[in-house]
Amino acid sequence: MTHARPYTTQLQAGLGLVDETKILLDLWSSGMSGVDLNKTALGSGAFPNMSARRIRNIVIECFAPRYLRHAAYPARLLKALLPHLAAGELVQLLFLYTCRANPVLADFVREIYWDRYTSGAERVLKEDARGFIRRAIDDGKTVKRWSESTIIRVSNYLLGACADFGLLGHRDRSGRRIVPFRIENKIVAILAQELHSQRIGDNSLVSHEDWRLFGLDAKDVRSELRRLTLTGQIILQAAGNVTHIGWKHRTMQEFVDDFAQG
């Protein structure tokens, strides 16, 4: 069966790019396309040690697919929330949007990283990543078969991206060490409200695949949402597998406005 969105090598243009993304969000304004942002970035002097080609790759191949999708919704949300997020919270949002834009990374995190994490493994190995890519190719998740050198490169990109986003530690000869990773409370609130704003029903919301990027199943999500009830953001009613949520904010904009007020 063919994957709905084929795996690509797009991560080769840039992995986490956390610092670069913060700069680009500052330079970006509503209505800017990727081409517009590239011109602005080139003329800004914000990347003095970077070639024009590299700036273009970051903007067009990384920032635009991640944050200018869906009428630039991710960029607009991030720009509004950025002043009110701690560094770790911002990184988790960038992780979420990068995974959404790169199915190969999202599936690697869900299928390999969290399996190793919950099994008590100390590392995610290079061979874990390579095996994941080889199986994906056999399953038709790439447009065409990748060479062995491409498999090795993309495997390294996956491990490197996970390190940039705080899931893995420093590299050694066998792979990268697993580090503690837990979703931040503010990210629970943002993701829940975002999914609700997409008109996803409450039962589907708690089992949405995005939560699995943070290692959460439906039961875990309900536990996280119960914490939001303590601050009055939602009212949660759950019995068995049935979940009903009463929402304080009708729209994402209402949520953002309230969020910005602390």
User: What distance, in Å, lies between the first and last C-alpha atoms of the chain?
Assistant: 46
Strand segments (E) across the chain: 123-125, 168-171, 175-178, 234-239, 242-247
In three-state secondary structure terms, 32 is coil
Distances from the Cα of 101 to the Cα of 5, 29, 64, 82, 106, angstroms: 10, 21, 10, 20, 9
Each residue of 73-91: pLDDT tens digit?
Answer: 999 999 999 999 999 999 9
Mean pLDDT over residues 119-145, rounded? 98
CA distance 137 to 135: 5
pLDDT for residue 231: 85
One-letter amino acid at 101 equals A
- pTM, whole model, 2 decimals? 0.95
> Which residues lie closer than 8 Å to 39 by C-beta, 6 or more apart?
none
Each residue of 188-225: pLDDT tens digit?
Answer: 999 999 999 999 999 999 999 999 999 999 999 999 99
